[in-house]
Structure 1
Amino acid sequence: MLGGCGIVPGVGSETTTVDIWLMKDSVSDEFLNRFTTAYEKDNPSVKLKFTFQEWTGIGKKVTAALESDKAPDVIEVGNTQVAQYAESDGLEDLTLESVRDLGADDWLPGLAEPGSIDGSQYGIPWYAANRVVIYNKDLFAAAGITEPPRTRARWLEDSERLNNGGVQGIYLSGQDWYSLAGFVWDEGGELAVEEGGDWRGTLDTPAALRGMAFYKELQSHGDGPKNADEETPPQARVFAKGDIAQIIAVPSAATLIEKSNPGLKGKLGFFPVPGKTAARPGAVFTGGSDLIVPDKAHERAAAIDVVTALAGPKWQTDLARTMHYVPNKPSLAGVLEGEESTAAMAAGAARGRATPNSPRWADVEADNPIKPYMTAVLQGQNPKRAARTACERITQALAPH
């Protein structure tokens, strides 16, 4: 029986308070009220206390909490942050619970892999979000394209076909490195690999270079800037002008697009980033959240039971439908039937990946060498040489210090 369906083992008649940190806006009051009411009804000796945290500065705050004697019992963290926190030896090893109660073999890899360190599961997948292709249905129809592409080759053909008559086939900025990562993974490459305990950048491998070559060809079917990322300027605002056929973005960007241009309401479509063959979508970076339990949690048993409930099928289904997230298991994707945008996201999430599982990957992103590498290639510099420079910087950033 999954946790959350009865009295928490070991909890007596006295009330136990489980202190839970969630990130601001990660869930709605509607969802949280439903979960709290149901959980406390099933576990009358447990009270749930939720505190919302800001993403800005959360790393230092969580690290400090893990070191203190007043740590919360459950913390929501970004999936790629788990390695950083696990390095502190301040997390509870949840391997036994994840295998026994949660069906870990069916988790989304982009959430599960970052939570697993040296064979131990410290982060329990909670929800995911990833990029899809948002497209203008009117522009597709005007170009005679009757259905979204399912292969990379067809995607390039359609983008070239769309890129005529004052229309951009696709708006892809030059430094959208998350999208590049998916193309690299599709080719069998990696951003960085670990060998003998040391990490090194691998953008200069033949596979990774093929991913960059595909990015360059796709980017050429539009007029995206070569020396800026997708937020400079915000690509949703650019797309809202109505003369761009496609962008690669999370589905929530559609809300911003329609707000900027109400005339596009009902005219936006969504499809997974195409793969090399029609058999499966392309690989994508999976963002989202895992749940961790500090080693110094005062209510360990109750905390694990709460995590088990939140990560189980009942509340995963509720969360996905309420928040339009991807649930933590591909087998639950059917709950999104009828929701085009989220279903497209879920299809991609099944092939999702996360950034290299190094506790120092945040140091790479702080002064991200992948961005100038991409610009250099798009501006005609030698790809191999530019990649080697980026690899050297990545390796330096990932080195112990």
Structure 2
Amino acid sequence: MRRRLLALVCVSASLLSGCGLVPHGGGDGRRTVTVWLMKDSASPEFLRRFTEDFERTHTDLDLDLRIQEWTGIGPKVQAALKADPGDDSGGDTGEGGLPDVIEVGNTQVPQYVDEGGLLDLTLESLRDWGADRWLPGLAEPGQLRGTQYGIPWYAANRVVIYRKDLFEKAGVEAPPRTRAEWLEATRKLDQGPAQGIYLAGQDWYTLSGFIWDEGGELAQERDGGWKGTLDTPAALRGMDFYRRLQSLGDGPADADEEHPPQAGVFAHGDVAQIIAVPGLARAILEQNPRLEGKLGFFPVPGPTAGRPGAVFTGGSDLIVPQNTDDRAGALAVVGALTGEKWDSELARTMDYVPNKADLARAVAGEEGVAAMAKGAARGRATPSTPEWAVVEADNPIKAYMTAVLTGGDPETEARKASRRITEQLQVPLS
């Protein structure tokens, strides 16, 4: 995903040698596997322990881990996928040697699949890597017509962060289990100077979850092309719930959750709830340490009890270029990083959600991450088409939301937005 969902620990310079972690040779018959990982996805200590364990258990392989910046990574990956096999110079990537494994954002995978150059990983994922247990929000963007190219690594998604003291003051004893209970609780919390919830009018990621809960979609593939579907009855029901919830606070109708940053609004105001990744609690406490011990977390409620609401899931997948000169080594790295041992360890270290719902026990001890893991089991991604990037670049969903929240007719505005999405999805990426 292009926007990072969590504030993470930076990679220390002591681990780096140029652009990569110091490799361990290449003599005595050992082969070097080059892996591109994104900055802040894993801590230096995790990478050190993983490298030591991997090289100890794979006596014929060395790892060369090269840390990449998210900014500008797209063209760099595209250059790597198009380079001639065995190009020791790294082609146009600016690196010494081509990667054998690359970490990419889960919503970026469709674009790389469309451009070609990815290895088909279907057989390994079905046979060895437990594909039937993966989180759908990570797995689905990595597929095209039943072929698996992206292998889920880690996930993050939104939860409800709430003020325990304001819940107690309003007589709301426990986090709500259903959307109906959530609305009722938020009405009780929205009294006097307090806001029941701070929900910006253009938080389209949160709206997406409500639409999915109703059985709707942002867009669907029909007759060989993609069409916007915000004007379906199901999608309109999702927008109506968003409108009712958003009215129980003072969130701006014409801005998203970053304008102003909702962490600051929550930290300095009488706000009972926000919808955000749990890692945002750190920023809240930095701005208002008096809230220490007063913050709680629960999954975004769904229509029925016992099943959290659908949420947009961001995170990373691992891909293998077709031009790798060490297919076996690349597969060994992917299998190890995404396997139960190290995927669970990464989740514990970085406050992520593991790539399989049944591994959520790894983060059960952290309230916010545990709530996130429950929601991730119902996680989804944006429509799996490379042209979706065009939609996000000039997002008609945001304008649609503002129009409805300021009194526009929902059906009329939804038709306009759907037509615009359809037009955007018919424009090939350059």
TM-score normalised according to structure 1 size: 0.96
Moved over 6 A (4+): none
State which of 112, 118, 121 in structure 2 corresponds to 1:91: 118
Q: Which amino acid aligns with 1:197?
A: G
- Aligned mates of 1:54, 1:100 — CA distance in 2: 33
Aligned to 1:56: 71
1:28 has 2:28 as partner? no
Q: Which amino acid aligns with 1:328?
A: N
- Cα deviation per residue 1:93-118 (whole Å; 9 max; x = unaligned)? 00000011111000000000011111
Q: Which amino acid aligns with 1:146?
A: E
- Cα deviation per residue 1:33-57 (whole Å; 9 max; x = unaligned)? 1100000111122111111111112
1:81 has 2:108 as partner? yes
Residues 242 and 264, structure 1, Cα contact 8 Å, conserved in 2 = no
1:209 has 2:236 as partner? yes
Q: Which amino acid aligns with 2:366?
A: E
Aligned to 1:122: 149
- Aligned mates of 2:215, 2:400 — CA distance in 1: 19
- Aligned mates of 2:416, 2:80 — CA distance in 1: 37
Name the SS of the counterpart of 2:115 in structure 1.
coil
Q: Which amino acid aligns with 2:103?
A: E
State which of 248, 264, 269 in structure 2 corresponds to 1:221: 248
Residues 133 and 270, structure 1, Cα contact 8 Å, conserved in 2 = yes
Aligned to 1:7: none
Aligned to 2:185: 158
State which of 296, 308, 311 in structure 1 corresponds to 2:338: 311
Aligned to 2:314: 287
- Cα deviation per residue 1:220-263 (whole Å; 9 max; x = unaligned)? 00000000000000001110014100000000100000001011
1:371 has 2:371 as partner? no
- Cα deviation per residue 1:193-236 (whole Å; 9 max; x = unaligned)? 00122000000000000000000000000000000000000001
- Aligned mates of 2:27, 2:73 — CA distance in 1: 34
Please list every run of 5 or more consecutive structure 2 residues that lacks an aligned counterpart in the other structure.
1-25, 85-89, 91-97
Please list every run of 5 or more consecutive structure 1 residues that lacks an aligned counterpart in the other structure.
1-10
Residues 133 and 248, structure 1, Cα contact 8 Å, conserved in 2 = yes
State which of 117, 120, 134 in structure 2 corresponds to 1:107: 134
1:190-205 paired onto structure 2 within 5 Å:
190-205=217-232
Aligned residues: 391
> Which structure has the higher relative contact order (CA within 8 Å, separation 6+)?
1
State which of 341, 349, 363 in structure 1 corresponds to 2:376: 349
1:320-331 paired onto structure 2 within 5 Å:
320-331=347-358
- Cα deviation per residue 1:255-294 (whole Å; 9 max; x = unaligned)? 0000010111111100000000102000000000000001
- Aligned mates of 1:57, 1:334 — CA distance in 2: 35
1:188 has 2:211 as partner? no
User: Taking every aligned residue pair, what percent have the same amino acid on both sides?
Assistant: 66
Residues 12 and 45, structure 1, Cα contact 8 Å, conserved in 2 = no
Aligned to 1:6: none
State which of 264, 267, 288 in structure 2 corresponds to 1:237: 264
Aligned to 1:38: 53
Instruction: Tell me by how many angstroms 1:12 deviates.
Output: 11
